[in-house]
Chain A
Amino acid sequence: GQQVMQIPQYQHVQEGEDFTTYCNSSTTLSNIQWYKQRPGGHPVFLIQLVKSGEVKKQKRLTFQFGEAKKNSSLHITATQTTDVGTYFCADDRGSTLGRLYFGRGTQLTVWP
């Protein structure tokens, strides 16, 4: 069945460097939500992408939805230690129930 694949699984960067995580699917994604989970914490909603080619920005974070709706990305400019955590993308596969199918996540480590 359709799977949401996230790469890389781990990313270690020095503070100030940029970071990108990718969410890919072999089939068309429906609606993508991005979540951040701090170590020992719970997932926190960041953004939702619905339209093909959509780009949204939140301060240093830029979220994109591919034109073919088969991939999405999250880019962080000039990482800070507060960006540490695991970033998940999740697709709702068109569900009206709000059920989400999560990727495995990208664990970001930032050292000062």
Chain B
Amino acid sequence: ETGVTQSPTHLIKTRGQQVTLRCSSQSGHNTVSWYQQALGQGPQFIFQYYREEENGRGNFPPRFSGLQFPNYSSELNVNALELDDSALYLCASSLGAWNSPLHFGNGTRLTVT
């Protein structure tokens, strides 16, 4: 069974730039969720994708957007980066059913300077 993979592992960007993070879901999983984890905090839900459509969104501005592809892989795009966007971005795949546990990738560490 292939786990969740994310790329890149680390990224440094300048304020105002744009970034795209990528995620391949675990085989058999049709739902992908993205979480932001600031240092010393728990993961915060950004949004979820199911069958290529956004299926729920957390309290994040529209400059956070995403995509899911037919093979269930996903992208997270962040425009107009701000210093506070510096965090670990975690992708999690699941079966999309109620109570399905999340399977997280190793994350992308984004630093905005």
Instruction: Using CB atoms and an 8 Å cutoff, list the residues of chain A in contact with chain B.
Output: 31, 33, 35, 41-45, 48, 50, 88, 90, 92, 95-105
Contact = CB atoms under 8 A, between A and B. Distances in A.
Interface of B: 31, 33, 40-45, 48, 50, 55-56, 58, 90, 94, 96-107
B102 A98 contact: yes
Contact of A98 (B43, B96, B106, B107): B96
Contacts, number: 60
Nearest to B106: A42
A96 B103 contact: no
Secondary structure dominating the interface of B: loop
Secondary structure dominating the interface of A: loop
B42 A99 contact: no
A109 to B, nearest CB: 14
Contact of B42 (A44, A45, A50, A88): A88
Given A90-B42, A100-B45, A102-B44, A45 B101 contact: yes
